[in-house]
Amino acid sequence: MKPTVKIHIGEYYSSKTPAVITTILGPCAAVCLFDAENRIGGMNHILLPGDSPARVGAGDSRYGINAMELLINQMMKLGANRYKLTAKVFGGASILSTISSVFSTGMKNIEFVVDFLLLEKIPITNYNFGGVDSRRIYYHTDTNDVLLKRIKSKESINEFTDIRLRRNNLEKKIRQSSSVIYFD
């Protein structure tokens, strides 16, 4: 049985021995990196795109550029070849419908990650991002396999519940009405 390592916002983890890294993503992004030749895998959990403000410090891995560089460097220390890395990208959900997608932090995170990976010539072999659902990611560091489970947002669950309740009330009104005409 592989050990399971949970990472949270601003954390990253890589391993040369088999492990499962797991995290939950809403608008955050996670990048899974893998060196197939050396069987080294790792994942980060990015809160915000770009670089950290000077007052925060360059080592803050909540920010995209730091999270990417720290993960790559950690993997290279384990023996990964920087030029053999491939990536899988997840997250970036818009979990609040009241926020325009133009201002969505989730999509800004994904745009940053994709631009970074393209600039660094790290091929993206798989991805699942956007939408309104949060995701739980299970990443296998030795095989590069990912299990993704969708988590319905409370907002969409509440909306669905409200719609179902309204539909049930309408159906009740129809059944109670004496002037209902059934069609064949």
What's 40's domain CATH number?
3.30.1330.200
Residue 8 placed within a domain = yes
Vertex 56: Cα angle to 61 and 34 (nearest 5):
10
- Which of 76-80, 130-134, 179-183 is most confident? 76-80
Residue type for 176, please?
Q
- Which among 9, 44, 153, 151 has a CA at the least distance from the CA of 94? 153
Residue 181 lies in a domain: no
- Range of lowest pLDDT (81-95, 106-120, 125-139, 156-170): 156-170
Domain-embedded: residue 177:
no
Would you state the structure tokens that stand for residue 44, as one six-digit string?
A: 């980060």
State the pLDDT at residue 158: 56
**Domain contains 116:** yes
Higher-confidence residue: 132 or 2?
Answer: 2
Q: Inform me whether the pLDDT recorded for 160 exceeds 70.
A: no
The answer on pLDDT for 17 being more than 80 is: yes
On whether residue 27 sits in a domain, the answer given is yes
The C-alpha atoms of residue 171 and residue 156 are separated, in whole angstroms, by 22
Lowest mean pLDDT among 60-64, 158-162, 172-176: 158-162
Q: Is residue 38 part of a domain?
A: yes
Confidence of residue 57 (pLDDT cuts 50, 70, 90): low
Residue 172 lies in a domain: no
53 has a pLDDT exceeding 80: no
Within a domain: 146: yes
Of 50 and 25, the structure prediction assigns the larger pLDDT to 25
Number of structural domains the chain divides into: 1
| pLDDT at residue 51, as a whole number | 63
pLDDT at 102: 56
Domain of 143 in residue numbering reads as: 4-153
What is the arithmetic mean of pLDDT over 78-104?
82
Judge contact between 153 and 132, C-beta under 8 A.
yes
Neighbours of 141 (CB within 10 A): 26
